[in-house]
């Protein structure tokens, strides 16, 4: 029995990992603090929000779509959840409401894309304005402060020394990995992204599959929002600015094809850590903002070139 699909996965992900090791190696040499345990935990913690968003983005991208609206969806979930908590609702209710808002936004994106027959890029571009506007209107533009300590404790605690957000995102990543690789939904996502027409004729529930992808993306945006909510202790309607670009970059660095049909959870996670490590290392080296921007641009492209060079060996 050949193991080729597995080898395939491993080789792609190995390329991404190689990129991470290279970047990590350079920083380790340049600044001694980089490789210390607290700093590595720090990088993981800082990458956790992007990772949360990027998990959903990866599923959406695999299904052949894209979700530009994640940031504003996060903001809308955050302000609704926070308003409920501040208004005295039990934490569980507020959390569920935030998740509900995220999934509702995802549902709306998904419905416009599937039943409306619109292009995902343009639907979620519209959503980018729409959901942000709703968050601003809901709050009148001012942040909501005064979240209960019980809620904040959830995100600021640690489990065996690992910050809770990292634990939560690790669990979600495991779930996403299982969904993608071990469930019918995962197969459907790859089939729909790989060849929607063939999938439809084969009886794949194309509409439901896409709806699921966007709803998962919305829900994960809400989770990211809740994590950040706990960390900040405040819900801002401007939360989530530019999150979509970071998440897409992470997924792409991790080997997802924006044409759909291909992507890897492990690759995406490594992609997130690459971006986080980059930011961390550049700050530690006290690189000026303009040069940080320069380095970000270069590293994204170089990471892709490394990935590409590794993938090339598979004969793609």
Partner 1 sequence: QDLTPLNSDAEPDRMDWSELEARFGPMPETPAGTKVGGVSKTLTNEYWRSLGEGYANVAKAEGLEFVYQAAQSEGDQLGQLSIAENLITQGFAVLLFSPQTDANLIPAVEKAEAAGVPILNVNDAVIPSAKNYVGNVQKGNGVNVAQWFIDNRPDGGKVAVIEGQPGVYAAGQRTAGFTETITAAGNFEVVASVPADWSRELAFNAAATILQQHPDLIGFYANNDGMALGVVEAVKAAGKAEQVAVFGTDGISDAYAAIRAGDLTGTVDSFPVLTGEVALEVALRLLAGQDLPRVVATPQALVTADNVETFATSDMAALRAALLAQ
Partner 2 sequence: MHMARLTLTGITKSYGPVQVLHGVDLTVAKGEVHGLLGENGAGKSTMLNILSGVIRADGGSIAVDGAPVTIASPQGARAAGIAMIHQELQQVPELTVAQNMYLGRPLRRLGGLIVDRGTQEARARAVLAQLDPGIDPAAPVGRLRVAQRQIVEIGKALLGNARIIAMDEPTSSLTPTEFERLVQVIAALTAQGVSVIYVSHKMDEVFRLCQRATVLRDGRRVGQVDIADVSPPQVIEMMVGRELAQASHRSFATGQVMMRVQGLTRGRHVQDAGFTLHRGEVLGVAGLVGSGRTELMRLIAGVDRAEAGTVEIAGRVVPQGVRARISAGLGLVPEERKREGIIRHRPVAVNMALPSMRLFSRLGITRAAHLNRTAETVMGDMQLRPLAVRRAIGTFSGGNQQKAIIGRWIAARAQILLFDEPTRGIDVGAKAEIYALIERLASEGHGIIVVSSELPEVIRLSDRVLVMREGRIAATLPGPEITEANIARHAIPATRP
CB of 11 to a copy of itself, least distance (A): 16
Contacted entry of partner 1, partner 2, a copy of itself, none for residue 37, CB cut-off 5 to 8 Å set by kind: none
Is residue 225 a contact residue for a copy of itself (CB under 8 A)?
Answer: no
Contacted entry of partner 2, a copy of itself, partner 1, none for residue 305, CB cut-off 5 to 8 Å set by kind: a copy of itself
Q: Which stretch binds partner 1 (CB under 8 A): 22-30, 44-52, 59-67, 174-182?
A: 44-52
Is residue 298 a contact residue for a copy of itself (CB under 8 A)?
Answer: yes
Query: Which positions from 243 to 282 touch a copy of itself by CB under 8 A, shown as an x/- string?
Result: --x--xx--xx---xxx-----------------------
Q: Which of residues 214-253 bind partner 1 (CB under 8 A)?
A: 228, 231-239, 241-243
Contacted entry of a copy of itself, partner 1, partner 2, none for residue 158, CB cut-off 5 to 8 Å set by kind: none
Nearer to a copy of itself, 116 or 184 (CB): 116
Query: Which positions from 251 to 290 touch partner 1 by CB under 8 A, shown as an x/- string?
Result: -------------------------x--xx-xxx-xxxxx
Please give, one letter per residue, the 3-state secondary structure of the chain. Answer: CCCHHHHHHHHHHHHHHHHHHHHHHHHHHHCHHHHCHHHHHHHHHHHHHHHHHHHHHHHHHHCCCCCCCHHHHHHHHHHHHHHHHHCCCCHHHHHHHHHHHHHHHHHHHHHHHHCCCCCHHHHHHHHHHHHHHHHHHHHCCCCEECCCHHHHHHHHCEECCEEHHHHHHHHHHHHHHHHHHHCHHHHHHHHHHHCHHHHHHCCCCHHHHHHHHHHHHHHHHHHHHHHHHHHHCEECCCCCCCHHHHHHHHHHHCCCCCCCCCCCHHHHHHHHHHHHHHHHHHHHCCCCHHHHHHHHHHHHHHHHHHHHHHHHCCCC
Nearer to partner 2, 129 or 182 (CB): 182
Give the interface with partner 1 as residue ranges (CB under 8 A): 31, 33, 36, 38-39, 42, 45-46, 49-50, 129, 132, 136, 141-143, 145-146, 156, 228, 231-239, 241-243, 276, 279-280, 282-284, 286-290, 292-293, 296
Give the interface with a copy of itself as residue ranges (CB under 8 A): 112, 116-119, 121-123, 125-134, 136-137, 141, 245, 248-249, 252-253, 257-259, 289-291, 293-294, 296-298, 300-301, 304-305, 308, 312
């Amino acid at each position: 029995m050949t193991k080729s699909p597995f080898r395939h996965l491993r080789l792609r992900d190995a390329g991404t990992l190689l990129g991470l090791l290279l970047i990590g190696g350079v920083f380790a040499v340049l600044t001694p603090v980089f490789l210390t345990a607290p700093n590595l935990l720090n990088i993981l913690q800082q990458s956790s929000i992007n990772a949360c968003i990027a998990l959903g983005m990866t599923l959406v991208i695999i299904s052949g779509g894209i979700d530009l609206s994640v940031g504003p969806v996060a903001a809308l979930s955050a302000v609704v959840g926070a308003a409920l908590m501040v208004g005295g609702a039990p934490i569980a209710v507020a959390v569920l409401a935030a998740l509900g808002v995220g999934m509702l936004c995802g549902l709306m994106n998904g419905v416009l894309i599937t039943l409306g027959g619109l292009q995902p890029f343009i639907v979620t571009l519209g959503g980018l304005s729409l959901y942000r506007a709703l968050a601003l209107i809901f709050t009148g533009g001012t942040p909501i402060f005064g979240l209960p300590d019980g809620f904040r404790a959830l995100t600021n605690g640690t489990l065996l020394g690992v910050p809770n957000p990292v634990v939560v995102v690790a669990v979600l990543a495991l779930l996403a990995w299982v969904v993608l690789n071990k469930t019918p939904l995962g197969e459907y996502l790859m089939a729909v992204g790989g060849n929607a027409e063939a999938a439809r004729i084969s009886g794949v529930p194309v509409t439901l599959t896409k709806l699921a992808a966007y709803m998962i993306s919305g829900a994960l945006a809400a989770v990211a929002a809740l994590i950040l909510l706990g960390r900040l202790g405040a819900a801002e309607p401007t939360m989530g600015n530019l999150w979509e670009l970071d998440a897409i970059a992470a997924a792409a660095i991790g080997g997802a094809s924006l044409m759909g049909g291909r992507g890897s959870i492990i690759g995406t996670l490594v992609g997130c850590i690459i971006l986080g490590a980059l930011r961390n290392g550049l700050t530690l080296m006290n690189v000026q903002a303009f040069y940080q921007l320069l380095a970000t641009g270069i590293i994204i492209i170089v990471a892709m070139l490394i990935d590409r060079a590794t993938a090339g060996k598979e004969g793609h």
